[in-house]
A = this chain, B = another copy of it.
Amino acid sequence: RIGVCYFPEHWPRERWETDVQQMVEAGIDVVRMAEFSWGRIEPERGEFDFEWLDTAVSLLGDAGIDVVLCTPTATPPKWLVDEHPEILQVEPDGTTREFGSRRHYCFNSGVYREESARIAREMTERYADVDAVVGWQTDNEYGCHETVRCYCEDCAAAFREWCRERYDDVDSLNETWGTAFWSQQHGSFAEVDPPRHTAAEHHPSRLLDYARFATESVVDYNDLQAEIIREANDEWFVTHNFMGHFDTLDSFSVGDSLDFATWDSYPTGFAQDRNTEAVTDDRLRAGDPDQVSLNHDLYRGPDGFWVMEQQPGDVNWPPRCPQPGEGAMRLWAHQAVAHGANVVSYFRWRRCRQGQEQYHAGLRKHDGSPDRGYGDASRAAAEFAELGELDGVDAPVALCFSYEDLWALSEQPHAPEFDYWGLVGSFYRALRARGIQVDVVDVSPGADIHLDGYEAVVAPTVHLADESLAGQFEAYVADGGSLLVGPRTGYKLPGNRLQPDLAPGPFADLVGGRVDQHESLPSSVETRLSYRGEEYGYRTWAEWLAPDGGTAVGEYTTGVAAGRPAILEHAVGDGSVTYCGVWPEEDLADALLVGLLDRADVSHAERFPETVRVTPRDGYVWILNFGADPVDIDVGSEAAWHVGDSSIPGFGVGVVEAGLADVSIT
């Protein structure tokens, strides 16, 4: 289904009926509204004006369109800030984040929690019996603009309380963190502060716990809203629109209190501003397909997911803002559906004539005429209607992911280039190049991971680990599973202290060896290894392995490391494990992956170039062309094409009934 984000409050009422009619014509049947509307709904304390929203909801409902409403808490209005300046966030150096953009409130402000509950109650009670409203989005993009972590006094108090609950007595905190280093012992929980500005780097254990605390503050804040929404009408779904490739918020945790997750997908922006790889011409026009798909898979739950905001054309916030390739807005919608999206909702209906996002396109231009995305969205809507209801994604491979690992590694990357997303992305890209559908599994310490159903498991790293976590992997392998594990695994205890033993700590028995040494390296150094007789490149990180039970199947060929083991294989029970002690370059990642898939008997495609992605769902295979050049596909002459045909134009799409292994580029 195709949706759109709509801001009636930005436009004259006379226009609304036209808008709704044009939505219907485009095949749009979901509309999100009101996420920044607090100032319009409550222009001064206690004076509510819902009439405009009532009207908009009923116009949409009359047209058969489902409405998703939002709590408007991402933008507390100025009168509230002036009344209670203590709700504002504070930087590590004590500077206040003032009113004038958005997300200026602190999640731990007691005053703001009350105010949030008050406005949420007002809104949800008003629409509790309105049929057109089918569910709610809480707030908007929690944490955008680096606002998960705040350093105000309310946060300091809440962090102390959080530590008290987690550790019970302060000696336990001291022991878990390891505060004997540099005289960082705390005599009581009252002595614990947020990690504010210091002369040198912070204690990594304090940083990690502050990251956890900050995420949990959002969870608590979100729970408060979710509860109020469900109190008003327990048939409503509750969701939130997460961001893409986002670091500071553990979306698994927040997701626990949602019915399903949604996220905001801006491919050409992400390719520029949060990608460690080169910005090619094709990525400028259609994004990095694997970067986007990884987020689809990350947010997909048992009931799928939505793209709540889909890039509609050119946007305002990346370094440069090229026009997307011809048809790219349709391509992205197909990509989302291939990865299990139930709704693809474009942001936004119409380019806005005011404020910070005037340079951000909509499906319609600011004069109301159709913009480039309108045709793309309409075409996608028609094609999805044609394809009908689809089964969910059936992924043979699990990809392990942990926000806590991300945090720990970003505190101590050991090289500017060591980026968690980049490491995970290297393994993920290799899987996608072979057309494999992937489920993303949370492997944070304490997680209860379910690997049973998967033919193979890929863990780019499992950095923080205890015996329990390692045990779950062992059980999976012993039971016949095939596992590929990457570097820096098992280095740290959950408290962000080194394991008592050498890495991979509790994984040592499983992988059949230990890490003798590690090093981080600049790109100026030649870094190569041999794996099963072929030479490959690696980057940034290297471990010198000492096999103990496992077999060295790769060894370094350059530098001080030359001759030392780099990759191990180990048969355990009915299964097997490959441990890769480096960050692999693309060819090595593919070689490791193909080895894993073959051992696990997982069918895969030939290796596609990055600009072409093949993705199976429900008996169909989507062929998605993220390049400007056309591509000819060979899938057998009798295959049934439901969208397009074997000649896929630049930025085009084909959907064919076929098996993954049958599709190739001619």
Which residues on A are within 8 Å of B, measured CB to CB? Answer: 9-10, 36-40, 43-44, 72, 75-79, 82, 89, 91, 93-104, 144-147, 177-187, 191, 193, 195-206, 279, 281, 284-285, 314, 316, 319-326, 351-359, 365-367, 369, 372, 412, 414-416, 497-502, 517-522, 524-525, 544, 559-561, 628
* Copies in the assembly, this chain: 3
Q: Judging by beta carbons under 8 Å apart, are B356 and A101 in contact?
A: no
Q: Given known contacts A9-B180, A181-B10, is B200 in contact with A103 (CB within 8 Å)? A: yes
- Contact assessment for B10 and A184 in the assembled complex, using a CB-CB cutoff below 8 Å: no
> A365 and B200: CB pair below 8 A?
no
- Most chain-B CB neighbours within 10 Å: which of A279, A358, A497? A358
Given contacts A95-B93, A367-B502, contact A185 B39 (CB under 8 A): yes
Cα-based distance from A207 to B388 in the complex (angstroms): 49
Of A320, A372, A414, most buried by chain B (CB within 10 Å of CB) is A320
Chain B, Cβ-Cβ closest to A10: B180
Contact assessment for A354 and B101 in the assembled complex, using a CB-CB cutoff below 8 Å:
no
Closest Cβ of chain B: how far from A149's Cβ, in Å? 11
Q: Which residues of B contact A102 (CB under 8 A)?
A: 182, 199-200
Known A181-B36, A353-B500, A497-B358; judge A314-B517 contact (CB<8 A): yes
CB–CB B502/A79 < 8 A = no
Asked whether, in the complex, the Cβ of B185 is within 8 Å of the Cβ of A412, the reply is no
Interface of A is mostly: loop
Q: A354 is contacted by which of B205, B322, B356 (Cβ under 8 Å)?
A: B205
Among B82, B178, B365, which residue has its beta carbon within 8 angstroms of that of A191?
B82
Besides A94-B96, A202-B356, A322-B560, 13 other A-B contacts (C-beta < 8 A): A38-B183, A79-B191, A98-B196, A101-B182, A101-B199, A180-B355, A181-B357, A204-B356, A204-B358, A205-B354, A320-B416, A321-B519, A353-B499
Cα distance, A279 to B104, chains bound together (Å): 42
Assess A320 versus B356: contact at CB under 8 Å? Given A94-B95, A191-B78: no
Within 8 Å by CB of A323, from B9, B99, B195, B519, lies B519
Tell whether, in the assembled complex, residue B519 and residue A78 are in contact, meaning their CB atoms are under 8 Å apart: no
5 pairs, A vs B, C-beta closer than 8 Å: A40-B185, A181-B354, A284-B521, A323-B519, A351-B498
Q: Are A101 and B177 in contact (CB under 8 A)?
A: no
Question: For residue A10, which residues in chain B have a CB less than 8 angstroms away from its CB?
Answer: 180-181
Q: Which residues of B contact A147 (CB under 8 A)?
A: 199
Known: A72-B183, A181-B354, A412-B358. A281 touches B524 (CB 8 A): yes
Q: Which residues of B contact A75 (CB under 8 A)?
A: 182-184
Q: Do B193 and A98 touch across chains, with their CB atoms under 8 A apart?
A: yes
Q: Could you tell me if A354 and B198 are in contact, using CB atoms closer than 8 angstroms?
A: no
Q: A39-B180, A95-B94 are in contact. Are A522 and B320 (CB under 8 A)?
A: yes
Contact (Cβ within 8 A) A525 B284: yes
Docked pose: A99 CA to B202 CA in angstroms: 9
**Contact between A320 and B179, CB atoms less than 8 A apart:** no
The answer to whether A560 touches B323, judged by C-beta atoms less than 8 angstroms apart, is yes
